[in-house]
Chain A
Amino acid sequence: MEKPLTQHIRADGKPLSLNEYERVGGYSALRKVLSGMTPGDVLNVVKDSNLRGRGGAGFPTGLKWSFVPQDGPRPRYLICNADEMEPGTFKDRLLLECTPHQLIEGMIIAAFAIGADVSYVFLRWAYREAARIINVAIHEAQEAGYLGRNILGSGYDLAMHLHTGAGRYICGEETALLNSLEGKRAIPRAKPPFPQVSGLFGKPTIVNNVETLCCIPPIITHGAEWFRKLSLTSDAGTKIYGVSGKVKKPGAWELPMGVSLRELIEEYAGGMLDGHKFRGALPGGASTDFLVELDVKMDYSSVAAAGSRLGTGTVVVLDDRTCPVGFVRNLEQFFAQESCGFCTPCREGIPWIRNILTAMENGEGMPGDIDLLERHARGLGPGHTFCAFAPGAMEPLQSALRFFRDDFIRHIEEHTCPWREHPVNDHNSRGFVVPHLQTNYHAADTH
């Protein structure tokens, strides 16, 4: 089984140095590109490879690149979205910490293809170790002449910078990322205009996920057809899948695209912990719908056909000893906290959902609450809110209401959470403002 993304990862988990990476063929794809390929050639190979964005939306990468206007203003930017903050997702961290140079090589090739002048790695603030490693790797690449002026004598220039975020989930949304990178409030932008036309500082910009960019060097080296054939299905390549929850061996593995959910959980994750039964799973992180069937191929189209999204491909498993209401409440608490606060339904609707779920957990659920939750799930649907954040937050809720409806009803009818002995300690949902948050933005008494 070929593992173009992770094959060279050291057993001890330490990052591959530049020398180590070069020894296993690193930067040969870049050399190939810069010694004869045109940006159009690179674009065509990536288009042919059928590579789809690994950040969650699965948009064809080559198509995205092709939207950059050839005569557009300069500078142009390539941005690596390394703001991995989706609950349950840790695949990019593996690549960032273990094969930093493969990412950098992929970024340089991508930047060359779109004619970018400057590139950024936008990294989640909490990935401190990754920040150190990427910084070292960028420095090494600069010293070796892979970055900077006249790269490998080709005449192509590219600067690369690491930018660490301030810890907001919304920065993973590509337009909010751009605002944050510009030093503005991390709120998404309306599309159109798309970043390809008016992105960072109003200039043409491509934002790609870490895993997407790491796929680029092997695609260049081995060709589009090879990449397509790595997959078991029509969606090309390999994918880093992850599993978390009450399984025997939680972890992340690079596998051919299209491996089944059953295989993932039962084989790679070692099955459920003893005494736990599988009830369902979020196939691609916190903002995907529950799947309750195991025999689903984990590729974009198959998961979509099953009623969810592949998302990041990192599975969160729900077992029979975990309260599904509490499970969803935990997610909605996250989304309520991470809403950027720009549009009304998201800013006000998700805290309301969180409050209702908390009330249910505390035995204070009321008849009509399920109806209210469903109204919210509909009301915060795609197109109703400013960006895809709230629709994503509704996916686990709406599917939980479908698959675990009886559990919600029991919470209300029994005036308690059947799984829980202690009430949820959550001041936010009860309308109090946490004192330390208040002092952040109030200096003096009311006037």
Chain B
Amino acid sequence: MPRIHIDHREYDVRPGRNLLETCLSLGFDLPYFCWHPALGSVGACRQCAVKAFANAEDTNGKLVMACMESVADGQRISIRDPQAVEFRENVIGWLMTNHPHDCAVCDEGGSCHLQDMTVMTGHAYRKFRFNKRTYRNQYLGPFLNHEMNRCIQCYRCVRFYKDYAGGHDLDAFASANRVYFGRSDDGVLENEFSGNLAEVCPTGVFTDKTLKQHYTRKWDLTSAPSVCVHCSVGCNTLAGERYGSLRLISNRYNGSVNGYFLCDRGRFGYEFVNVSSRIREPRIPVNTQGESWEEHVHKATEVFRGTRIVGIGSPRASLEANFVLSRIAGRGNFYHGVSSSEFELSKTASQILAKGTVPSLSLKDVEKCDVVVIWGEDVTNTAPMLALAVRQALRNRPMEKSIAANIPPWNDAATRERVQQERGPLVIGSYGTTRLDEVASMTFRASPGALSRVGCAVANQLDDAAPLAGTLDEEEQAVANEIVRVLRSARRPVIISGVSSGSMEVLQSAANMAEAVRRHNADTGLVLTFPACNSLGLALMEGRPFAELLHEEQDRRGTLIILENDLYRHADPRTVQKIVALFDHVIVIDHTWHETARNAQLVLPAGTFAESEGTFVNNEGRAQRYFQVYEPVNGIRESWRWLLTLGNALGVSQKGPWNSHDEIVRALAASADVFEPVMRVAPSANYRIYGQRIPRQPHRYSGRTAMSANRSVSEGKPPEDRDAPLSYTMEGTRLPPPSVAIPFFWWPGWNSVQSVAKYQDEVGGPLRGGDPGIRLLEPTSKAPLYFSVSAQKPPEVIVVPLHHIFGSEELSVLAPAIAERCPKPYLAAGPMTFGMHTADHGAVMRLEIHGRMLTLPVVVDPAMPKGVAGLPVGLPGMEYFELPASASVIMQLQNAE
């Protein structure tokens, strides 16, 4: 371990790091701009200058940039050296020559790295007396605002957008002191991770446009740690509220999950919480009287008492809510609110994770892999942050060369120059074009049947015990051979598949591949994606898919409670109508109006993720807690709380004698071994730090005594959180909370998101006390879990599901900004999909799936193979179809224009 001297004190530090990250990890305040913990060093801003001395006798020393120097044993540096201090102040002086000093009207103000660094260097007096340079700004789409005059040319934006996230439409233009960061023309920033620019930019050039609609300073936000609800990856977020509306989603660092970034669906999808289609009050069918909504509901449900209760749970509701519903309904009466095929797929996927030999990987683990095989998934659209992790993983194999050439991995520019366009192997087996194709070493586009045949053949080649699923043609054999070759060459291979392909064959063949590689390489990993934020959590619970209600023998009358679910997204309309018609009473608990809720007799408004607490199990199998951000108004309650009320009203309270979230969690943990660790995911509501709660509001929160004065001049008693150790005000501890309960990142001198370094053990490492979340599933088996895949005889045309990051997810598409990016319904087809009927762009096709007619315009995907067509899933205005499905009758209504 190198020992270095900083201002005449000795420190033992980690080898292989640069001086800047070392100083920051040691707790020094050393200003910087262009360096970013995830992006590495390029040495552009010259802000982190320190004095380096040749030896103990050297008193002159020379200035070096800390971010560009490796730590070395015996190194002597000074941060406080007057020349270094003066130079760092000069750098701010230079950066400020053209900065507009418009902090008061800048969205970044109060959480601005440039402000923090300016104060840190002591630059207070402006010597530049000449005019400032000005730019014109660009329209960049619904997510980001552009204000180039604030730019300090740190180059972070293009380094993140192009180098890290693989974007193509943001660049540095012009030169000298006219350098401009933007698009070549005005237009929507297309990359799926563009929103991170708002956090990557150290000042207010790129800011969150959705925040601007209801702007609030960081210090005025009431925030809580949350978990993204828009896919199964479960990125950790910070959710901020003011005046009862959700204002901002920002990254909550979790070293094992999302690191420093979020996808645009996760960052901008939050506005479904604020939209007018929210269910804000209970809808009660009869005239009732009562003091509270609870009493109303109690009275209204009296007539339901004693009837059989059936519950349909939800893959987007918390473990706790699903658990309470399952207890109210009782054994045999709890159904999973997912389609039968999704049910089987999710169950199988959970078994692969629990009963196989291959561990599921976190995103951090994926970033360390050197060979990636993606089977049947378009991960950019189904689990976007996984795609970002894959892009980083592809750097590992070529980086072995730059490391061998003594280029440290933190030296980003030099590494990229040495590595150039080289990437590690990425094999994508898919139905058609996917976003990651551009970085793939091989793509194989095929029907589900062909994918499974090849997958099984790969497994079989690696391990005789793995069963085959049919014979391969020449092309398929070549693909299988190539996959075997790259998997054998891997140091750390990962197989990525999931539920979104809709195909059991594809999922099982991917699992077989992973199991077979694992025979050769103990570092093999597996990642399976799921459709919703708690799909895996629900799959771990007992129950059957709700469509089976149709086939039941027993008495079907009774009360149906539907939890946070629009059944029309999981079954065709006739099936849903038939099931609902089976029951005397239908109760829906949800936060947003949809067809299922509109047709229910009793509708109870649920809190969204921002208005409730709960636990989700992400695709890795990691149980993660999210906390209520603010107390909802009117009749909105956490769905678990409404379920407790209903349980009482329906006379089944003895099955769930719980009054608080903690009690539910305890009961959940006791209900099954797999849920036992959920108890330890987060501290209980009684947790205190020296007797104090963790404040949701920062100490600079303003307007508290005035903000409700339009209703009453006396300041009401702040609500008390009985379900979490957080307070709703700024009162509470000033000490850092446990990692799972950090409501905002803020540190003296560090107001911006860059303060996260102060919460980490070392820069870029886990949060102090460990990254949040507990893995529920570890592979237990010693013997490989192989599936005998039954490859179906392919129909003439098979319609497969396609996913869209903006559009396919139920809640985010309610957010106006996301809706703006959502495509219109279409049918994807390759040039040979329909054999003789050549599909042209814009042609209107009519086809029959499961006996239902569908008329859609064609979008040509040149990569889609013969006999395969694609239907986007979940877009607004599209009915549910169980996919993949054969499409039998086809005719072309209209030619392409």
Contact = CB atoms under 8 A, between A and B. Distances in A.
Interface of A: 73, 168, 178, 185-186, 189-190, 192-193, 197-198, 201-202, 336-345, 347-349, 351-352, 355, 359, 366, 372, 375, 379, 383-386, 429-433, 437-438, 440-447
B42 A441 contact: no
Given A192-B414, A193-B417, 11 more contacts: A190-B42, A198-B402, A340-B175, A344-B153, A347-B176, A348-B177, A383-B62, A384-B49, A433-B134, A438-B136, A443-B185
Contacts of B152: 344
Interface stretch (B87-95, B252-260, B327-335, B658-666): B87-95
B130 A355 contact: yes
20 contacts: A193-B418, A198-B418, A202-B402, A341-B174, A343-B45, A344-B152, A347-B94, A347-B153, A351-B176, A355-B130, A383-B63, A386-B44, A437-B174, A438-B136, A440-B174, A441-B174, A441-B182, A443-B184, A443-B186, A444-B139
B173 interface: yes
Contacts of B91: 344-345
B177 A336 contact: yes
A447 B127 contact: no
Interface in B155-183: 155, 172-180, 182
B97 interface: yes
A272 to B, nearest CB: 35
Contact of A341 (B87, B130, B176, B405): B176
A202 B47 contact: no
Contacts of B417: 178, 189, 193, 198, 202
Contacts of A341: 153, 174-179
B384 to A, nearest CB: 26
Interface in B547-563: none
Given A341-B176, A437-B178, A444 B94 contact: no
A446 B148 CA distance: 10
Contacts of A352: 94, 97, 128, 130
Given A341-B179, A386-B46, A437-B178, A431 B130 contact: yes
B747 to A, nearest CB: 25
A351 B136 contact: no
Contacts of B155: 342
A336 B133 CA distance: 14
Q: How big is chain B's contact interface, by range?
A: 35 or more
B49 to A, nearest CB: 7
A445 B153 CA distance: 22
Contacts of B42: 190
Interface in B40-79: 42-47, 49, 62-64, 68
Contacts of B63: 383-384
Contact of A430 (B44, B94, B131, B173): B131
Interface string B559-593: 00000000000000000000000000000000000
A343 B46 contact: yes
A232 to B, nearest CB: 35
B695 to A, nearest CB: 37
A193 B43 CA distance: 14
Contacts of A386: 43-44, 46
Given A352-B94, A372-B127, A441-B173, A344 B46 contact: yes
A342 to B, nearest CB: 5
A98 to B, nearest CB: 32
A428 to B, nearest CB: 9
A431 B43 contact: no
B97 A442 contact: no
B414 A198 contact: yes
Contacts of B137: 446-447
Nearest to B173: A441
Contacts of A446: 136-137
B420 A202 contact: yes
Contacts of B182: 441
Given A193-B414, A351-B177, A447 B405 contact: no
B407 interface: yes
A444 B176 contact: no
Contacts of B178: 341, 433, 437
Given A384-B63, A384-B87, A446-B137, A344 B94 contact: yes
B411 A190 contact: yes
Contacts of B419: 202
A432 B178 CA distance: 11
A210 B548 CA distance: 82
A384 to B, nearest CB: 6
Nearest to A384: B63
Interface string B120-150: 0000000111111111111100000010000
Contact of A347 (B138, B179, B418): B179
A385 B132 contact: no
Contacts of A193: 405-407, 414, 417-418
B413 interface: yes
A348 B414 contact: no
Contact of A344 (B95, B172, B180): B95
Given A190-B43, A341-B176, A429-B130, A447 B94 contact: no
B98 interface: yes
B189 to A, nearest CB: 13
A345 B172 contact: no
A348 B153 CA distance: 10
A33 B277 CA distance: 83
A181 to B, nearest CB: 12
Contacts of A201: 420
B176 A339 contact: yes
Given A189-B413, A189-B414, A352-B97, A198 B407 contact: yes
Contacts of A168: 175
A417 to B, nearest CB: 18
Contact of B43 (A343, A347, A430): A343
A168 B131 CA distance: 26
Contacts of A186: 175
Contact of B47 (A190, A344, A348, A431): A344
Contacts of B134: 433
A194 to B, nearest CB: 10
Given A351-B177, A433-B134, A190 B127 contact: no
Nearest to A434: B178
A356 B822 CA distance: 53
Contacts of A432: 131
A185 B417 CA distance: 13
B894 to A, nearest CB: 35
Contact of B133 (A178, A384, A431, A445): A431
Nearest to A170: B175
B411 to A, nearest CB: 7
Contacts of B97: 348, 351-352
A190 B420 contact: no
A372 B186 CA distance: 39
B418 A202 contact: yes
Nearest to A375: B90
A385 B175 CA distance: 16
Nearest to A446: B137
Contacts of A429: 130
Contacts of A342: 44, 155
Nearest to A355: B130
Contacts of B131: 430-432
A445 B87 contact: no
Contacts of A347: 94, 153, 176-177, 179
A28 B95 CA distance: 56
Interface in B371-414: 401-402, 405-407, 411, 413-414
A379 B87 contact: yes
Given A384-B63, A429-B130, A444 B138 contact: yes
Contacts of A73: 401
Interface in B181-221: 182, 184-186
Contacts of A338: 176
Contacts of B153: 341, 344, 347
A265 B176 CA distance: 35
